[in-house]
Amino acid sequence: MNNENLEGSKGIEFSKLSVFLVTKIDKVIMYNSSTYQEIGNIPIELLKSETREPNEIIAMNKCQDEEYLAIISGKNLIAAE
């Protein structure tokens, strides 16, 4: 694995491929589920932000048969209570 701070990241496992994915601002990092070694990454091109809040990966999901991955990017805004 690595020593990077992945606080706020999202993760999802593809058990058929023995892989899990972890988001990091503008990329999805792929790790082997058995060895925890990084095996690749998927760069995500984010739109340029015109406000102080940066765009980032805010969600990802897979289909039931683990054939497709959906990634949603945007601003992670937290409303005041």
**Sheet bearing 11-14, strands edge to edge:** 11-14, 19-24, 27-32, 38-43
Helix (H) or strand (E) holding 18, with range, is none
Tens-place pLDDT, residues 2-42? 777 888 889 999 999 999 999 998 999 999 999 999 999 99
State the pTM of this model.
0.81
C-beta neighbour count of 26 within 10 angstroms: 14
Q: What is the pLDDT at residue 50? A: 87
Q: What is the pLDDT at residue 18? A: 93
Q: What is the pLDDT at residue 81? A: 53
